[in-house]
Chain A
Amino acid sequence: MQNIKSDFPILKRKINGKALIYLDNASTTQKPKTVLKALVDFYSTSNANIHRGIHTISEEATDKYEEVRKKVAKFIGATEEEIIFTKSATESINCVAVAWGQKHINAGDEIIVSALEHHANLVPWQELAKNKKAILKIIPLTANYILDTDAYQKLLSAKTKLVCVTAQSNVTGTITPVKKIVEMAHIVGAKVMVDGAQSVGHTPTNLTSLGCDFFAFSAHKMMGPTGVGVLYIRSDLMNEMTPFMYGGEMIESVQEKSATYRTGHWKFEAGTPNIAGVVAYGAAIDYINKIGLKNIADHDKELLAYAKKMLARYPQVKVFSPSKPQDTGAVLSFAIDGVHPHDIATIFNDHGIAIRSGLHCAEPLLQKLGAPNGTARLSFYIYNTKKDIDTVEIALKKVLKIFKL
């Protein structure tokens, strides 16, 4: 991963007189020049609405937009008919809760979610369960921060209609056994919603082999622009779902008092989407493909191991991370007794280091981890280096010195 930093203009910034060290990649990632250029190029040369005009630039815009749908499908091992563009992973999950959940969840049904979920893959199911008088059940964690699959097996029954699980936690970095979770759910006839927000930009994904029913993620966590999300719906499920939003583009024909809707993924894309964002997202996927997801995953593992080894030298620091490298992605949460995570983040910022601190949109998980004030979180991507972690160590020493620990 030599010289990759130079592809990212923002990494030239100075923060408090120090070079920016960006370690908040689980929140959002930085964008390479090619993605920025794709945005400017689109608005400079092909900007038009899609699927409506028969003029040249509208056709160009439509082609570029649909080209990215194919690219995304290939990237995650799906077909283009199964890809819906949304504004975020959050919107994608909410779409499933409305378009599938409203019709298929009934009183007394059970929805299983894991203890690792981000609020985005928890609160929509709480709400659905409440409205439908369904029951929400939680897959617990083991002491090693991984999902307790034995407990999961016991939760499954003929009443289970849906299982919602993240592919990778944004707090502990835990990589979950999605394939196994899907197989077990399908035995009792339940559908599976997978939150891939943290995994897709870091490790190869093949939905054909995973076999899940729904899969959601955000472009901005994989070097694409903000405002673009993806929802995968397995093709055979589309027909049993109702539209999520109503308006232009998703209709077949409209009379004054009624309308009919298009079929397949079209019925879920109402209104003008983030066209330029989707087009630039294509450049992000090209960039990732050029580097190779396998290389990204290896780089993540190397940095994670290096950072864990560094933190282990400080007995004041508690890490919340599975013991085995194969169970952990590019995220490392830690806490220091007697120092609030926000104070750690403030002192890190004085060193130019950007990290996330607090509850990471996963309040129930932080309670369970015994960190009600939250954690400080390092999260890596391809432009991070071991030298960045060395600077983290300097900042960490400063924290311990200030708080006399």
Chain B
Amino acid sequence: MDIYTETILDHYQHPHHAGALGKPTISTTEHNPLCGDVIRLDLKINKDTVEEIGFVGNGCAISQASMSMLADYVEGKKISVLKKLKPKDIYNLLGITISPGRTKCALLGLNALQKNLH
């Protein structure tokens, strides 16, 4: 079972949407106290749509790649659609099997997004 696929490593080493936004509509920071992983997630929202997304993070390959892939998905989507995202959708994006010990890493980005949208 190899979770370090080329795609995941590429997102980890060259994250998409990296960097804070100049004037975010909302911004939250999400921590994983167990391992110290952290993501600050900024969203620029226009009416009902996420127009722009940016994040600053520090953590393991799984948490950071997962955030980067989620960010690709989020940009341009309607809030009502994003609110419906489930852990399963994140695992599908990642395309790997996540062991119970690493679910918190995989879902850190999703948790940050959900915190922002509520």
List A residues at the B interface (Cβ < 8 Å).
16, 338-343, 346-347, 350, 358-359, 363, 372-374, 402-404
Select the residue from A346, A358, A359, A374 with max chain B CB neighbours within 10 A: A346
Q: Verify B59–A373 contact, CB threshold 8 A.
A: yes
Q: Tell me how far the C-beta of B39 lies from the nearest C-beta in chain A, rounded to whole angstroms.
A: 13
Select the residue from B3, B9, B34, B61 with max chain A CB neighbours within 10 A: B61
Q: Verify B102–A346 contact, CB threshold 8 A.
A: yes
Q: Verify A343–B35 contact, CB threshold 8 A.
A: no
B81 at interface, CB cutoff 8 A: no
Cα A220 to Cα B105 in complex, Å, equals 29
B53 at interface, CB cutoff 8 A: no
Cβ–Cβ < 8 Å partners of A404 in chain B: 9, 13
Q: Is the interface of B mostly helix, strand, loop or mixed?
A: loop
A-B contacts, 21 listed (Cβ < 8 Å): A338-B13, A340-B59, A340-B61, A342-B62, A342-B105, A343-B61, A343-B62, A346-B3, A346-B102, A347-B4, A358-B34, A372-B36, A373-B36, A373-B58, A373-B59, A374-B35, A374-B36, A402-B4, A403-B4, A403-B9, A404-B13
Cα A343 to Cα B4 in complex, Å, equals 9
Cβ–Cβ < 8 Å partners of B58 in chain A: 372-373
B60 at interface, CB cutoff 8 A: yes
Cβ–Cβ < 8 Å partners of B36 in chain A: 358-359, 363, 372-374
Q: Tell me how far the C-beta of A27 lies from the nearest C-beta in chain B, rounded to whole angstroms.
A: 14
Q: Verify A402–B9 contact, CB threshold 8 A.
A: yes
Cβ–Cβ < 8 Å partners of B34 in chain A: 358
Cβ–Cβ < 8 Å partners of A340 in chain B: 59-61
Cβ–Cβ < 8 Å partners of A339 in chain B: 61
| Given pairs A342-B62, A372-B36, A373-B36, 12 additional interface contacts (CB within 8 A) | A339-B61, A340-B61, A342-B102, A343-B61, A346-B102, A358-B36, A363-B36, A373-B35, A373-B58, A403-B4, A403-B9, A404-B9
> CB within 8 Å of A: which of B1-34?
1-4, 9, 13, 34
- Of all chain B residues, the one with the shortest Cβ separation from A403 is B9
Cβ–Cβ < 8 Å partners of B35 in chain A: 342, 358-359, 373-374
- Of all chain A residues, the one with the shortest Cβ separation from B4 is A402
List B residues at the A interface (Cβ < 8 Å).
1-4, 9, 13, 34-36, 58-62, 102, 105
Cβ–Cβ < 8 Å partners of B59 in chain A: 340, 373
Cβ–Cβ < 8 Å partners of B3 in chain A: 346
Cα A172 to Cα B36 in complex, Å, equals 19
Q: Tell me how far the C-beta of A96 lies from the nearest C-beta in chain B, rounded to whole angstroms.
A: 27
Cβ–Cβ < 8 Å partners of B105 in chain A: 342
Q: Verify B1–A350 contact, CB threshold 8 A.
A: yes
Cα A350 to Cα B3 in complex, Å, equals 10
Q: Tell me how far the C-beta of B84 lies from the nearest C-beta in chain A, rounded to whole angstroms.
A: 29
Q: Tell me how far the C-beta of B56 lies from the nearest C-beta in chain A, rounded to whole angstroms.
A: 15
Q: Tell me how far the C-beta of B101 lies from the nearest C-beta in chain A, rounded to whole angstroms.
A: 8
Q: Tell me how far the C-beta of A401 lies from the nearest C-beta in chain B, rounded to whole angstroms.
A: 10
Cβ–Cβ < 8 Å partners of A346 in chain B: 3, 102
Cβ–Cβ < 8 Å partners of A341 in chain B: 60
Q: Verify B4–A342 contact, CB threshold 8 A.
A: no
Select the residue from A342, A372, A374, A402 with max chain B CB neighbours within 10 A: A342
Cα A404 to Cα B1 in complex, Å, equals 19
Q: Tell me how far the C-beta of A130 lies from the nearest C-beta in chain B, rounded to whole angstroms.
A: 21
Cβ–Cβ < 8 Å partners of A403 in chain B: 4, 9, 13
Cα A358 to Cα B61 in complex, Å, equals 14
When A and B form their complex, which 3 residue pairs have the shortest distance between CB atoms, in order from nearest?
Answer: A340-B60, A342-B60, A402-B4
Cα A266 to Cα B102 in complex, Å, equals 45
Cβ–Cβ < 8 Å partners of A347 in chain B: 4
Q: Tell me how far the C-beta of A101 lies from the nearest C-beta in chain B, rounded to whole angstroms.
A: 27
Cβ–Cβ < 8 Å partners of A363 in chain B: 36
Q: When A358-B34, A359-B36, A374-B36 are in contact, do A343 and B1 touch as well, CB less than 8 Å?
A: no
Cα A372 to Cα B2 in complex, Å, equals 27
Q: Tell me how far the C-beta of B104 lies from the nearest C-beta in chain A, rounded to whole angstroms.
A: 10
Q: Tell me how far the C-beta of A368 lies from the nearest C-beta in chain B, rounded to whole angstroms.
A: 15
Q: Tell me how far the C-beta of A363 lies from the nearest C-beta in chain B, rounded to whole angstroms.
A: 8
Select the residue from A16, A343, A347 with max chain B CB neighbours within 10 A: A343
Cα A115 to Cα B13 in complex, Å, equals 33
Cα A198 to Cα B18 in complex, Å, equals 42
Cα A359 to Cα B58 in complex, Å, equals 14
- Of all chain B residues, the one with the shortest Cβ separation from A366 is B36
- Of all chain B residues, the one with the shortest Cβ separation from A372 is B36
Q: Tell me how far the C-beta of A228 lies from the nearest C-beta in chain B, rounded to whole angstroms.
A: 26
Q: Tell me how far the C-beta of A92 lies from the nearest C-beta in chain B, rounded to whole angstroms.
A: 25
Cα A359 to Cα B37 in complex, Å, equals 11
- Of all chain B residues, the one with the shortest Cβ separation from A363 is B36
Cβ–Cβ < 8 Å partners of B102 in chain A: 342, 346
